[in-house]
């Protein structure tokens, strides 16, 4: 088999960041890769594949209905499109111009996130309520008027804010759906159950994070009537109405416009099938990947625990539900920014978590580590702390620098 990356002159890297899009996501299992290969080999009707795979995924994760997207960000966009325009062909065709009165998406200020772009890009106007430290129920209630199309809620934000139950109760009374951005927070599936029990109408989940599916896959799940309205916004319906037949899976034959706003977010059959197989694998043995990750972290610790130039601490990444390691570099007198740059330039090329780099701590997330990576990372770090730029850039091809 050819090594396509070597062929292109691109250096691969040890991914100690986790499921980061800028690094192409996590390595895929052989099982997922094989399913994607098999899926790519034949043509099918995508609407039928979506219906069949969506039903299976919904059953596996415990949601009323599900639809496969090209990521959680696309799931946020498609959910917003449904809340702004429903299934009405004229309204679907008009987005991002909103034809109905309801075009506002209400969000607690503390829940803002760069991914809000996925919501505003389809035509919604964001309305912030509350303050960074607290939000009150009446601040939500007074925005739930006939201009409100949706409430967006995010898990795991610190502060005295409205929980999913409080938000859903107020929103339901006003007839406004609640979308949860659980991209990083599901799995575990118990969290999805809690969100749905708490009254969430729609939940966006990343397929390439904890599920370890293809990195350009995601799930929008929740209320069946809302999920049924996703396809008209998403699928390529450049068909001939005289000959286009009902789906053989569900018999569905929705009245559709041509291309909705989601057409640029198309998802391939390889992604749909790859994600389905990844979700099956997760449900079969949800701890399998963690076992391997824990081993890599243990190997790394064994080498660095004896090094007095850094302090190694166990920590936990609560969103992704995974143990991580923090390496405090302050005893070495080296700045984390410098070490991060050298790890990238050197060989093996290594990327680490930088959330705490401002206080000279680097983070090791095991999700993207391959066998042997933990020890390789520890050895390279020790080498850098010895003061050398080490075996770095000199012995490897540099591309585009």
Ligand X SMILES: *Cc1c(COP(=O)(O)O)cnc(C)c1O
Dist. CA 176–CA 161, nearest whole Å: 19
Out of 77, 80, 135, 206, the only residue in the binding site for ligand X (CB under 6 A) is 206
- Window of 57-65, 67-75, 249-257, 304-312 that interacts with ligand X by CB under 6 A: 67-75
For residue 129, the cross-strand partners are 108
Out of 208, 260, 274, 390, the only residue in the binding site for ligand X (CB under 6 A) is 208
Cβ(134)–Cβ(166) below 8 Å: no
Would you count residue 21 as binding ligand X (CB under 6 A)?
yes
- Window of 69-77, 219-227, 230-238, 261-269 that interacts with ligand X by CB under 6 A: 69-77
Nearest to 65 by CA among 183, 75, 74, 131: 75
For residue 110, the minimal CB distance to ligand X (Å) is 13
CA distances from 342 to 19, 21, 71, 201, 345 (A): 21, 21, 32, 46, 5
Cβ(233)–Cβ(259) below 8 Å: no
Would you count residue 184 as binding ligand X (CB under 6 A)?
yes
- Window of 167-175, 180-188, 237-245, 252-260 that interacts with ligand X by CB under 6 A: 180-188
- 177 or 218: CB nearest ligand X: 218
CA distances from 37 to 47, 48, 49, 274 (A): 20, 19, 16, 9
Out of 18, 71, 213, 268, the only residue in the binding site for ligand X (CB under 6 A) is 71
- Pairing of the two strands 65-69 and 218-222: antiparallel
For residue 40, the minimal CB distance to ligand X (Å) is 21
- Window of 10-18, 103-111, 178-186, 195-203 that interacts with ligand X by CB under 6 A: 178-186
For residue 253, the minimal CB distance to ligand X (Å) is 30
Site for ligand X (CB under 6 A): how many residues?
Answer: 12
- Window of 56-64, 70-78, 131-139, 284-292 that interacts with ligand X by CB under 6 A: 70-78
Out of 123, 177, 187, 218, the only residue in the binding site for ligand X (CB under 6 A) is 218
For residue 25, the minimal CB distance to ligand X (Å) is 8
Q: Hey, what's the torsion of the CAs at 365, 367, 368, 373, to 10 degrees?
A: 70
Nearest to 310 by CA among 331, 294, 324: 331
Give the other-Cβ count within 10 Å of 67's Cβ. Answer: 29
The radius of gyration of the chain's CA atoms, rounded to the nearest angstrom, is: 23
Would you count residue 181 as binding ligand X (CB under 6 A)?
yes
The tokens of 166 are what? 């409080």
Would you count residue 80 as binding ligand X (CB under 6 A)?
no
Out of 73, 82, 84, 227, the only residue in the binding site for ligand X (CB under 6 A) is 73
Dist. CA 7–CA 16, nearest whole Å: 24
- 218 or 257: CB nearest ligand X: 218
The tokens of 341 are what? 């740059």
- Window of 66-74, 163-171, 236-244, 284-292 that interacts with ligand X by CB under 6 A: 66-74
Would you count residue 199 as binding ligand X (CB under 6 A)?
no
Those residues whose C-beta lies under 8 Å from the C-beta of residue 42, and which sit 6 or more positions away, are none
Binding site for ligand X (CB under 6 A): 21, 71-73, 113, 115, 181, 183-184, 206, 208, 218
């Amino acid at each position: 088999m050819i090594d396509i990356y070597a062929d292109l002159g691109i250096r691969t890297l040890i991914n100690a960041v986790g499921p980061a899009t800028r690094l192409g996501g996590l390595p895929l299992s052989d099982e997922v890769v094989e399913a994607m290969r098999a899926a790519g080999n034949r043509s099918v009707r995508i609407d039928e594949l979506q219906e069949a795979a969506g039903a299976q995924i919904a059953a596996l994760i415990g949601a009323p209905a599900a639809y496969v997207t090209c990521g959680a960000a696309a799931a946020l966009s498609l959910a917003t499109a449904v809340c702004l325009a429903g299934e009405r062909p004229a309204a679907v065709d008009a987005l991002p111009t909103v034809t109905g009165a309801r075009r506002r998406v209400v969000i607690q200020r503390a829940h803002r996130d760069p991914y809000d772009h996925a919501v505003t890009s389809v035509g919604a106007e964001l309305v912030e309520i509350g303050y960074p430290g607290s939000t009150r129920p009446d601040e939500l209630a007074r925005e739930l008027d006939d201009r409100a199309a949706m409430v967006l809620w995010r898990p795991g934000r610190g502060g005295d804010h409205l929980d999913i139950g409080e938000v859903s109760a107020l929103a339901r009374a006003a007839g406004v759906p609640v979308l949860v951005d659980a991209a990083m927070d599901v799995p575990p599936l118990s969290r999805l159950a809690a969100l749905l029990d708490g009254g969430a109408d729609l939940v966006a989940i990343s397929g390439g994070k904890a599920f370890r599916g293809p990195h350009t896959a995601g799930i929008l799940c929740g209320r069946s009537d809302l999920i049924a309205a996703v396809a008209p916004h998403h699928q390529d319906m450049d068909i001939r109405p005289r000959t286009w037949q009902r789906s053989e899976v569900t018999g569905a034959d929705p009245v559709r416009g041509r291309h909705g706003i989601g057409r640029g977010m198309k998802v391939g059959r390889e992604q749909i099938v790859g994600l389905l197989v990844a979700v099956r694998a997760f449900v079969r043995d949800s701890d399998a990947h963690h076992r391997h990750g824990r081993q890599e972290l243990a190997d790394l610790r064994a080498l660095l625990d004896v090094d007095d130039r850094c302090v190694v601490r166990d920590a936990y990444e609560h969103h992704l539900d995974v143990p991580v390691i923090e390496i405090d570099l302050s005893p070495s007198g080296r700045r984390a920014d410098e070490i991060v740059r050298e790890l990238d330039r050197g060989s093996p090329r290594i990327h680490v978590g930088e959330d705490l780099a401002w206080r000279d701590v680097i983070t090791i997330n095991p999700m993207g580590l391959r066998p042997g990576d933990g020890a390789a990372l520890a050895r390279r770090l020790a080498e850098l702390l010895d003061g050398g730029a080490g075996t770095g850039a000199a012995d490897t091809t540099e591309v585009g620098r």
